[in-house]
Amino acid sequence: MPNKHNDARRHHIPKIKFKVTNWPDYEARLRRRGSLTLWVSDEAIAAWTAAPRTTPGGQARYSETAIETALMVRLVFHQPLRQTEGLLGSLLDLMGVDLPVPDHTTISRRAARLTPALRTALPDGAVTLVIDSTGLKVYGAGEWHRDTHGVRERRTWRKLHLAVDAATSAIVAATLTTSGEGDGGQVGPLLDQTEGPIDTVMADGAYDGEPTYQTVAGRDPATTVVIPPRSTSVPGSDAEPTQRDRHIQSIADKGRLGWQRETGYGKRSMAETAMSRYKRILGDHLHARKLFGQQAEAAIGVAVLNRMIDAGRPESVRVA
């Protein structure tokens, strides 16, 4: 163990245990996530055909809803585009629906121009938003190929930024950027996607800095920002202490664990759980080659996770 000599100085916090109280209903809803009719819904079938075009140009056969549905099926069942085309065709035949199925080239071409928007609305009342980011691979040789042959191929990453409602675990905002974009610069675009009052914005130390506080204050000055300051941070010279100054003073008085208990910083784990859910269910890489197509793919993936959460959410209580 590389850090065994520091074990005596670590905080040994017992793991919190929870019990699901609605297990029979939750288990049935978990099984429903694998139902094809959950992803090819009646609403999608009703909006399958594109509306008549009123501007010059060719008439599209398929609506954006149809293309989004095809991409959802692809991501959920991890199918290539050709197999997705066949799966949709067989499903519509079994349902007795006389609708054309977009071929794989149409899905690929239209996916690069999609601008899907999250349809998850914030619940009534002020909410706590938890913001974080994670990396997604685009292309390049895998770890096995690199370790076996000693060849280091070009590898490209994208950063997926998420804003999660701490109460419902729903992802209410998402952006996808290149790996060179800073985390703090995406706070504004994430907040722009949300509607309704926000009580608290919570993030890790990568977002620490006055620009983040100013961005949140620009949306609503009453919003509380909970971000751990760096260990070398000192209060500002202004006569009136800022939120960040109060965090620094609280940590100096009560320690970081005391500050975490006081601010409820433990809720930040909801963002890490959402990112882990994305990678476990949908994978840790993107299929599209161009940034715009990758952004559409990530937005579709977030919509998939939200639909899964809506299909079944556990009701759990803490076990003493």
10-residue mean pLDDT profile of the chain (320 residues): values are 62 78 90 89 91 84 93 93 94 91 93 77 80 88 62 76 92 92 92 89 93 93 93 80 91 91 92 94 90 92 92 84
Q: Return the C-alpha torsion angle 205, 206, 211, 217, nearest 10.
A: -60
CA 133 – CA 204 distance, rounded (Å): 10
Give the separation between CA 287 and CA 295, rounded to whole angstroms. Answer: 11
112: Cβ–Cβ under 8 A, 6 or more apart, which residues? 288, 290, 292, 293, 296
Q: Which tokens go with 118?
A: 């999250």
Position 72 scores a pLDDT of: 94
Give the pLDDT of residue 179: 87
| Inter-residue contact 246 to 221 (CB < 8 Å) | no
Looking at 3.40.109, 2.40.40, 3.30.420, 3.90.870, the CATH number of the domain 127-291 comes to: 3.30.420
How far apart are alpha carbons 297 and 169 in whole angstroms? Answer: 20
> Tokens 């993936």 — which residue?
301
DSSP 51: P
Whether 116 contacts 296, CB under 8 Å? yes
**Cα–Cα dist 210/184, whole Å:** 10
The pTM (predicted TM-score) of the whole model is: 0.85
Instruction: Give, in order, the Cα–Cα distances in Å from 286 to each of 33, 57, 137, 293.
Output: 22, 31, 6, 9
Predicted confidence at residue 45, as pLDDT, reads 92
pLDDT at position 2: 53
Residues of each domain in the chain carrying CATH 3.30.420: 127-291
- Three-state DSSP class for 164? strand
SS3 156: strand
pLDDT at 1: 47
Neighbours of 319 (CB within 10 A): 8
Between CA 250 and CA 263 the distance in angstroms is 10
